[in-house]
Amino acid sequence: MKGFRVVTTAIAAASWFAASAVAQLDPIVIKGSKFFYKTNGTEFFIKGVAYQQDFTGNGSTTSNANGGYTDPLADAAGCARDVPLLQQLQTNTIRVYAVDPTKDHSECMSLLTNAGIYVILDLGNPTVSINRDTPEWNEDIYVRYASVIDGFSNYTNTLGFFAGNEVSNAPNNTAASAFVKAAVRDMKAYIVNKKYRPMGVGYATDDDDTRTELADYFNCGPAEDSIDFWGYNIYSWCGTSSYSASQYEARTQEFSTYNVPAFFAEYGCNKVEPRPFDEVLELFGTNMTKVWSGGIIYMYFQETNNYGLVSIGSDNKATTNKDFDNLSTQIAKVNPTGPNFASYTPSNSPQACPTTSTWQAATALPPTPNEAICSCMMSSLKCAAKSSLSDTDVAKQFAYICSPTVGGVNNCEGILANGTTGAYGAYSMCNGTERLSWAYNQYYLNQTSTNTQNNQACDFSGTAQTQSAKAASSCASITSQAGAQGTGTVTNAPAATGISGSGNGNGGSGGTSSTSKAAAIVLTVPAFDFGILKLAAYVTSAMLVGVGMVLL
């Protein structure tokens, strides 16, 4: 990790100087439920387009050298080709679903800046994100999310970040929202701790039966734990419809008391083709601009799902289609206006946390992933998992060691996280190999407490080995607060920084990876949702450092 840190620091420096040489966009600021240009105080309405290539219609991505997704902001030639077309659509914002923080984005960000286009970035990638079926908020996901913030914080046209996209999409998986909200909390704190220009961290949801509870949950409670803005993926206006029939009126009424900016993070139903985009006039009309801050059309690139505005040929040239023409015509008709920053007085308050019988997520959130805590834990163990274990081996051993019948005790209380009850082990945010090591050690201690000669207690079919417990003196308070069972709360560990990954150098379990050795309890490849699409691919990611939204 040390060598990697040097490389990314060098890339970050180059990116910083490149970004410093381009024109700076006026940062977008938040006041109450509205966005504003910082300098002149004019209200900012998002006229956006989703911008990510290599989608297919079957819920996967086209295979490529990056391991499953194409980072559009690392493709300078593509940006040079596309930015003029985005300008024809009067685009002032693009949404990008996955970027590679190890790559140079300065040229694309410069082109976008010079064109007056802001960027909203999703923090995850297809394999390192919070999985609704087996949710975790762990070291490796934390590092991934922090690395995206590092890489784009220096650009003044970075409008903000999504910490999750449609993670909870049904009543039976709303508990996953506790983990996403913890990510919101920690990425907001990360931006503050790194002394970056304040930038918003939000969440994007789909249009399902849990929409009201989701919106309330992410907005309720302490401000430092809740979202800075809310993205709504909505496809209810198809072809020729109306404010009422499309449910736009009902949704507008629901969000009329929301106290942070809300906008359509995706819209543009294609049940009628070509799309007439009649909804554009309503979204940017007087019925909705009092509540909504615009929206993002899905999507720029034409793929097999037929949502594209532009087709890219084998010669890498762009050809616009009828959808592009229709959107261009409709967007040219709108000129939304709102109050000035100085004259606007917010009156809405945070929502109350949901209490419906179908809502599963607790208000208590998972702990902040912290390398120091996990490193101290690992150094205190007498029995640990071998670092060479495959993902399959780790998952298999978890299924065994966490069974309540193994050894007659609960070996895993200190590493499990329950988003429904709000009970989280002190080490539940460590990576998979570290957590498996904790469980092994709990079993080992129990078995040797009455028989110190038991040489088989740390074997587990050759997947574990004994080690000398050599916790540093600085770890004493951490392990003491965590407790012998790992169920305590650690309050005096160093602040999490996202500088490196796990304490023992192994990968994590936000998703499985061909290079990771820490699959933890996740037994399935996580589905990373891109609006109405699902993407499942294998990819590794790293980090970058940089320095760009003021929250008032």
User: In the structure, what pLDDT confidence band is assigned to residue 308 with cuts at 50, 70 and 90?
Assistant: very high
Q: Which two tokens stand for residue 161?
A: 């970040």
> Where is average pLDDT lowest: 216-230, 441-455, 462-476?
441-455
- Per residue in 154-176, pLDDT (tens digit) is 999 999 999 999 999 999 999 99
Cα separation, 68 vs 259, in Å, equals 37
User: In the structure, what pLDDT confidence band is assigned to residue 321 with cuts at 50, 70 and 90?
Assistant: very high
- Per residue in 6-35, pLDDT (tens digit) is 333 344 444 444 444 446 899 999 999 999
Q: Which two tokens stand for residue 24?
A: 């700076």
What was the pLDDT predicted at 468?
Answer: 94
For Cα atoms 343, 345, 348, give the angle at the middle one, nearest 5 degrees.
155
- Per residue in 404-422, pLDDT (tens digit) is 767 677 899 999 999 999 9
Residue 37 pairs in a beta bridge with 28
- Per residue in 78-92, pLDDT (tens digit) is 999 999 999 999 999
Question: Residues near 461 by Cβ (< 8 Å), separated by ≥ 6?
Answer: none
pLDDT at 515 over 70: no
First vs last Cα of the chain: how many Å apart?
Answer: 37
What was the pLDDT predicted at 498?
Answer: 64
Question: Residues near 159 by Cβ (< 8 Å), separated by ≥ 6?
Answer: 28, 93, 118, 119, 120, 199, 200, 549
Distances (CA, A) of 220 to 81, 148, 226: 43, 26, 6
Strands, E assignment, 301-457: 310-312, 318-320, 383-385, 417-418, 423-424
User: In the structure, what pLDDT confidence band is assigned to residue 495 with cuts at 50, 70 and 90?
Assistant: confident
Cα separation, 383 vs 265, in Å, equals 48
Catalytic residues: 166, 266
Q: What are the φ and ψ backbone dihedral angles of 510, each rounded to 5 degrees?
A: -65, -25
User: In the structure, what pLDDT confidence band is assigned to residue 300 with cuts at 50, 70 and 90?
Assistant: very high
Q: What is the DSSP string of 156-168?
A: TTEEEEEEEES--
Task: Estimate to the nearest angstrom the gap between the alpha carbon of 139 and the chain centroid.
Answer: 14
- Per residue in 106-152, pLDDT (tens digit) is 999 999 999 999 999 999 999 899 999 999 999 999 999 999 999 99
pLDDT at 73 over 80: yes
pLDDT at 427 over 90: yes
Cα separation, 1 vs 164, in Å, equals 27
pTM: 0.86
Neighbours of 13 (CB within 10 A): 12
Cα separation, 208 vs 233, in Å, equals 10
What was the pLDDT predicted at 23?
Answer: 64
Question: Residues near 301 by Cβ (< 8 Å), separated by ≥ 6?
Answer: 51, 52, 53, 55, 308, 310, 311, 312
